[in-house]
Amino acid sequence: MELTVIGHWGGFPKVGEASTGYLLEHEGFKLLIDCGSAVLSQLQYYVKPTELHAVILSHYHPDHVADIGVLQHALLIGKYTEGFSGNLPIYGHQEDQAGFAALTYKNVTTGISYKGDESIHIGPFQIEFIKTLHPVPCYAMRLTAGGRTLVYTADTAYFSDLVAFAREADLLLCESNYYKDMKKSAVNHMTSDQAGQLAKAANIKNLVLTHLPHFGDHEQLVSEAKEEYAGEITLALSGLKITI
């Protein structure tokens, strides 16, 4: 599997970059995980929107879905400019009916529901889910292909069941929206040291910190995570590519 970070900011994108979006590829299959603000602009450095095979969404907050409408229009225009004839599946939960309904658009995208207690296959990927601690229904994902596993926490406060869910993953793509000393503020998100605690407890091979804050020194996030976890830690950056 190859992971490309398309966007990694929490809340809103930094100038010239994007909020949450990740491209995961295996055996030629291209899966976009979340589609936040400015993701479509950044995605086109790597693939055309018409080259995507599927999209999957963790939840419907704007920093994770803002560019779904933009993607739909790109595909619609692609029918005339590129001869695009497909219908892109967009996977999401139905616990937000309005959010889910917006995934189906004309004859270019179709919303397909997943449930938190099931395992699904999208192309070569087997995907399992666990509901996170967030103000709206949100699901972390465990994606496996080619004998390798990526766990994406999506947005969540720390909770103990994440440890078993992430156990032995090759890569943990973990939100770190707050610094160690901000636990009182981090009601719905994780701090840097909690990301490290999760990686250590789950025996993760590699940790990537993402959904980053718009303040402070991000290297401090790494230092604080290292206090808990001795493995490899990487800060998410626009365009970062990781082979899993």
Question: Per residue in 111-125, pLDDT tens?
Answer: 999 999 899 999 999
Instruction: Report CA torsion sign: 121, 51, 64, 174.
Output: positive
Q: What pLDDT score does 187 carry? A: 85
Q: What pLDDT score does 145 carry? A: 98
Nearest to 165 by CA among 177, 149, 176: 149
Q: What pLDDT score does 186 carry? A: 81
What is the Cα–Cα distance from 169 to 162, expressed in whole angstroms? 12
Q: What pLDDT score does 185 carry? A: 83
Nearest to 41 by CA among 238, 194, 241: 238
Nearest to 190 by CA among 161, 155, 165, 164: 155
Q: β-pairing, 232-235 with 88-92?
A: unpaired
Residue numbers in the chain where pLDDT is lower than 70: none
Q: What pLDDT score does 113 carry? A: 98
What is the Cα–Cα distance from 244 to 241, expressed in whole angstroms? 10
3-state helix, strand, coil in the chain (%, to 5): 25, 30, 45
Starting at the earlier edge strand, list the strands of the sheet with 88-92. 109-113, 88-92, 54-56, 29-33, 21-26, 2-7, 241-243
Can you give the pTM of this predicted structure?
0.98
Q: Which positions ≥6 away from 134 have C-beta within 8 Å? A: 59, 154, 155, 156, 157, 188
